[in-house]
Amino acid sequence: MKKSLKIVLFWLFSLFIFYTLSGFVILPWWTKTYLPSLIKESFQLPLSLEEVTFNPFTFELHVKNIALKDHNESNISTIEHLYVNYEPSFLFKKEFYVKTILVDRPFTNFHIDQNGTFNLLTFFPSSSNEHNATQTSSSLVMPLIIEHVELQKGGIHFKDESVKEPFALDIQPINYVINNLSFYKDDLSIHALKIALQNEEKISLASSISLEPLKFHGELHVDRLPLKDFWRYLLPTLPATLEQGALSLRLPFSMDLSKEVPLLTIDKAEAHLEEIRFLDQTNKVIELPSLKLDGIDFDLQKASIHIQNALIHEAFVDVQLHEHYMPNVARLFSPPATKTATTSQQKGTKEKAWTFALDTLRLTNSALILTDHNVKGAPIHLSGLNATLTSLSSDMNRSIVYELNTSVDKDASLALKGSFVPSTTQLTVELKAKALSLAKVQPYLHPFTTLILKEGLLFSDAKMNASFGKNPLIKISADAELSKLVLLDRFKNTLLQWEKLKMDSIAYASSPASLHVKKISLLKPYVNLDIKKDQTTNFSDILKTQAAQTSPTKTKPSSTTKETPLELLIGDIALQNGSAHFKDASLPIPFATYMTSLNGKFSTLNTQSAKPSVLKLEGKVNKYGYAKIDGSLLPFDFKNRATLKLIFKNLDMKSFTPYSGKFVGYAIKGGKLSMDLSYKIRKGLMEGDNKINLDSLTLGEKIESDEAINVPLGLAIAILKDSRGQIDINLPVSGDMNSPEFRYGSIVWRAIGNLLGSVITSPFKLLGSVLGIETENLTSIDFAAGEFALIGSEEEKMEHYQLILEKRGELKLLITPSFNETIDTQALQENNVTAQIETLTPKGSSEKNSYGRAIEKLFVTYYSKEAYKKELQRYQEEKLDKGAIYERLRSKIAEKITVTPEALTTLANKRATAIRDNLITKHKIAPDRLQIQEPQSSDALREKWVGCAISISN
């Protein structure tokens, strides 16, 4: 018994000694000596162990300086110290239980060479991996439980030389703690992972994991992870360069990999991007000091992403529009186009549609610069930019609500709010604009017009409802104001400007097309009209030729389209303190005038109403002139119905010298013009009654002009001007506005030409119409043939001459001595015969038939006695009485009397003198206003009267 006990004790002691030696010596020696070779032979992994210790009583294993080497004997992965504490008592429970595993300073060197080969993969051939995986899965014959696993001060060095710019990253220290790692079903293990970059903790993970089934629950934290190097490495094809930026993240997650379709959800995650700065060729393009995402929900199975809030603070974007208006921002984040289609596209597979929703996106205190390189213009600066978008979603039926407020170029502001429904393209906009500079539009006008929009500010409060579907509809209601507008021509001279144009209650609808404006007020408008030497104006070339040629092609309507006319309704239009400058350089002497203090209004304009609009306008012309216009017209059918009354008063005539020089050939030295013009237009037919008053008109020097009317203008003025220096003209005009040859100016000048032309043709008729007297027979004073004594019938004419000269102080009467060679010669011959007979027949003679004896004596004297007897016999044979015989003989005697031209001239001068003496003596006309002209022959009046021509002169 004792012997047996000794044997048992011996073997027990021997077994203890062997167990002790095996644990303390043999197992460490074998592990250090043969385990690396076995692993290398089985797995092709070159492994080295510096020191291995094992306590068989506490089942604690210590391994120092474990190293996995490559073929060049360089370390790929190392562990400075590995500690394992195994608890064998749990074998009775059929559990493989490890109390503690400590891994101190593990380090792994990940390297991808220039050929894209990953260093670790060279040690894990695919066939071996599959074999080992199969072996491992089949070897788990009992549950494995590890109570505590801890990795301390680990590190990873990653380097990729396969990319254009080699990438290297050191991740350390890494600390990872796992508690209760179990393979029992639904048993949870607790994990805590902390990763630092450059000795700053950046990533931490707290999670619980169930290995059977495989489920994960936890929360990942990232604290200001620098993104610069990751961006360049992961997205090398994007042109944008991320100069700086950091990511912070809180990611609560749940993952279930036990299902056929993996389940992954993220609940109420948060992300924060800080100090993001993107560059384009070293120029700052985008700055995002802060971008926060709150309430991020993700569901892989439902393919949905939901974000409650996104907040961007103090962002800056520099937008550059290059050729074809491609913004630089889009180009920076657009990868190069590739011809390779994705796998799903090649195979024609359909992926599950993802849904996305962002409840609120806010942009605060941000800035944007917009530079358009397609035109030469200054950039647009938006500052203090605040915007809010709500209900951003992949659901096209969901309404997106937006709001935006910003300052534009410091002095202006813009506010927008509204909504948009993508599926129906329903858009609502509320806009408030303050002092937006219209000068920014000028570069876009340059291709189409020579106008220069120098200044202009837009103020607006507008609302719009629009739909851009199959039947587009736009409705706009607004109040608008354009202030400080200045338009220049290509020579930078002002064409048009105003202080303020205000439009109240604008209402526009696209279908049916209508535009209503309640009221328009225009303050201090100014228009500059300049007619050049070639008779073009400064408004003639405002449209560029190219634009004028191409625009009709673009806007040409379809032949089948019937356009609905626009319904236009504009309330009262008020004009305050306007001015206008007019210059005409096409005249021999350039003309310029200036109108100021223009005030007026225009009543309602309505295309749907037959009620005429009322126009009232008045203002100041030059220094002391006055203008007023009253009218009633159909503004959109002017030719059909219009009534206009224009009054101009006290206009300085001297300024009209350019026009008088062109059309009548004289300068105007002085005078004032007033006009009362009335026009009626019905169905294109114009009737005008123009009353013109010229006060103290005085002509100046002669001006050569090919277009001047050839009339004695001075005489016309003298005829028309009354004793007070006034000229009153009633000038009716008419014309057919439907005629393509209708020109108002030509009608007026034709009427003026007819008026002045009558000075030549019938000056007395013109005087008669002015003075209201009958003047048809004032062109001559009639005398009996051979006589110079005034007859009683001509006295009435003398009175009219007196009236004319009294009423027209600048006129002179021209008396032309006149004779008629035929009847005056005959009369003088008869008078001479009578005189001779009277000489031969003395008064008081008692001789019988002394008259007959005197005729006989004279006949014999001029002819002969035989001729007398012969003529007497012939007359007696004709049985003429004595009186007839004497008349025949007198006529024959008269034929022998010679009347010289001097005698006729003397007769004419005596007639003129008789007229002059009568007017001076009887009618008290000043001698200097009566001028006797050169004698001239004239026609006989009814074969017995001779008229001395009377005309007038100035």
For 897-907, the pLDDT digits (tens) are 888 999 999 99
pLDDT at res. 562 = 54
pLDDT at res. 547 = 44
Phi, psi of 232 (to 5 degrees): -65, -30
pLDDT at res. 170 = 82
For residue 829, is it within any domain?
yes
pLDDT at res. 243 = 86
CB–CB of 249/242 below 8 Å? no
Q: Which of 150, 137, 141, 149 has the alpha carbon at shortest distance from 95?
A: 141
Say yes or no to pLDDT of 755 above 70: no
Determine if the pTM surpasses 0.75. Answer: no
Lowest mean pLDDT among 545-549, 708-712, 927-931: 545-549
Mean of the per-residue pLDDT values of the chain:
81
Stretch 185-201: mean pLDDT, rounded? 76
One domain for residues 576 and 650 = no
One domain for residues 785 and 753 = no
Tell me the residue type at 111: H
pLDDT at res. 428 = 94
Residue 924 region by backbone torsions, left for phi larger than 0, else alpha for psi between -120 and 50, else beta: left
One domain for residues 942 and 798 = yes
CB–CB of 850/812 below 8 Å? no
Give strand pairing partners of 632. Answer: 614, 643
pLDDT at res. 135 = 41
CB–CB of 86/80 below 8 Å? no
Q: Which of 935, 930, 941 has the alpha carbon at shortest distance from 907?
A: 935
More confident residue, 663 or 139: 663
Give strand pairing partners of 861. Answer: none
- How many other CB atoms are there within 10 angstroms of residue 927's CB atom? 10
pLDDT at res. 102 = 92
Report how far residue 771's alpha carbon sits from residue 780's, in angstroms, rounded to the nearest whole number: 19
Q: Which of 861, 917, 915 has the alpha carbon at shortest distance from 892?
A: 861
Tell me the residue type at 920: I
Provide the pairing of β-strand 494-510 with 940-941. unpaired
One domain for residues 660 and 576 = no
Q: CA 537, 543, 545 angle in degrees (round to 5)? A: 110
Lowest mean pLDDT among 224-238, 387-401, 406-420: 224-238
Residue 136's pLDDT band, with cuts at 50, 70 and 90, is: very low
Domain region containing 754: 613-761
Say yes or no to pLDDT of 551 above 50: no
Say yes or no to pLDDT of 650 above 50: yes
Report how far residue 732's alpha carbon sits from residue 687's, in angstroms, rounded to the nearest whole number: 8
Residue 271's pLDDT band, with cuts at 50, 70 and 90, is: very high
| Range ranked top by mean pLDDT from 97-111, 415-429, 691-705, 885-899 | 415-429
For residue 487, is it within any domain?
yes
Residue 77's pLDDT band, with cuts at 50, 70 and 90, is: confident
Say yes or no to pLDDT of 430 above 70: yes
Say yes or no to pLDDT of 346 above 50: no
pLDDT at res. 882 = 83
pLDDT at res. 138 = 40
For residue 251, is it within any domain?
no
One domain for residues 686 and 755 = yes
Task: Give tens-digit pLDDT for 903-942.
Answer: 999 999 999 999 999 999 999 999 999 999 999 998 888 7
One domain for residues 538 and 493 = yes
More confident residue, 782 or 213: 782
One domain for residues 787 and 891 = yes
pLDDT at res. 555 = 46
Domain C-terminal end among 731, 761, 791: 761
Residue 746's pLDDT band, with cuts at 50, 70 and 90, is: low
More confident residue, 429 or 119: 429
Report how far residue 853's alpha carbon sits from residue 846's, in angstroms, rounded to the nearest whole number: 13
One domain for residues 681 and 804 = no
For residue 822, is it within any domain?
yes
User: What percentage of residues in the chain have a pLDDT greater than 70?
Assistant: 86
Task: Give tens-digit pLDDT for 287-313.
Answer: 899 999 999 999 888 889 999 999 999
In Å, how far are 187, 189, 353, 517 from 259, measured between CA atoms? 17, 20, 21, 68
Say yes or no to pLDDT of 387 above 80: yes
More confident residue, 169 or 828: 828
Report how far residue 786's alpha carbon sits from residue 668's, in angstroms, rounded to the nearest whole number: 48
Tokens 């040859």 appear where? 741
One domain for residues 576 and 634 = no
For residue 905, is it within any domain?
yes
Say yes or no to pLDDT of 705 above 70: yes
pLDDT at res. 503 = 92
- How many other CB atoms are there within 10 angstroms of residue 898's CB atom? 9
Stretch 4-28: mean pLDDT, rounded? 77
Token reading at 904? 């006729």
Angle between helices 865-877 and 850-862 (to 10 degrees): 120
Q: Which of 212, 264, 223 has the alpha carbon at shortest distance from 246?
A: 223
Q: Which of 835, 827, 819 has the alpha carbon at shortest distance from 938?
A: 819
CB–CB of 628/614 below 8 Å? no
Tokens 């604009």 appear where? 433
pLDDT at res. 347 = 47
Stretch 830-853: mean pLDDT, rounded? 79
Lowest mean pLDDT among 171-180, 318-327, 336-345: 336-345
More confident residue, 320 or 729: 320
Report how far residue 335's alpha carbon sits from residue 632's, in angstroms, rounded to the nearest whole number: 67
pLDDT at res. 328 = 80
For residue 940, is it within any domain?
yes
Lowest mean pLDDT among 224-238, 340-354, 488-502: 340-354
Q: Which of 594, 728, 739 has the alpha carbon at shortest distance from 673?
A: 728
In Å, how far are 111, 229, 230, 272, 494 from 225, measured between CA atoms? 22, 11, 10, 10, 60
Domain C-terminal end among 761, 790, 825: 761
More confident residue, 534 or 455: 455
Q: Which of 412, 398, 426 has the alpha carbon at shortest distance from 481?
A: 412
CB–CB of 581/594 below 8 Å? yes
Lowest mean pLDDT among 138-147, 215-224, 662-671: 138-147
Q: CB-based contacts of 582: which residues, under 8 Å, 6+ apart?
A: 529, 530, 591, 592, 593, 594, 595
For residue 687, is it within any domain?
yes
One domain for residues 825 and 785 = yes
Q: Which of 794, 775, 772, 767 has the alpha carbon at shortest distance from 783?
A: 794
pLDDT at res. 588 = 57
pLDDT at res. 130 = 43
pLDDT at res. 232 = 79
Is-cis flag, bond preceding 28, omega within 30? no
Q: What is the largest CA-CA distance in the chain?
A: 240
Phi, psi of 238 (to 5 degrees): -75, 135
Token reading at 87? 């608890």
Say yes or no to pLDDT of 692 above 70: yes
Stretch 61-90: mean pLDDT, rounded? 84
Say yes or no to pLDDT of 127 above 50: no
Stretch 481-494: mean pLDDT, rounded? 91
Say yes or no to pLDDT of 139 above 60: no
For residue 268, is it within any domain?
no
User: What percentage of residues in the chain have a pLDDT greater than 90?
Assistant: 23
Q: CA 888, 894, 899 angle in degrees (round to 5)? A: 160
Stretch 443-447: mean pLDDT, rounded? 84
Say yes or no to pLDDT of 348 above 70: no
One domain for residues 947 and 806 = yes
One domain for residues 442 and 513 = yes
Residue 558's pLDDT band, with cuts at 50, 70 and 90, is: very low
Residue 760's pLDDT band, with cuts at 50, 70 and 90, is: low
Q: CB-based contacts of 766: which residues, under 8 Å, 6+ apart?
A: 716, 719, 720, 755, 758, 759
Say yes or no to pLDDT of 743 above 60: no
DSSP secondary structure, 151-186, as one string: EEEEEEEEEE-SSSS-EEEEEEEEEEEEEEEE-SBT
Task: Give tens-digit pLDDT for 782-838.
Answer: 999 999 999 888 888 888 888 888 888 888 999 999 999 989 999 899 888 888 888
Say yes or no to pLDDT of 771 above 80: no
Into how many domains does the chain fold? 3
Phi, psi of 803 (to 5 degrees): -65, -45
Lowest mean pLDDT among 241-255, 261-275, 527-541: 527-541
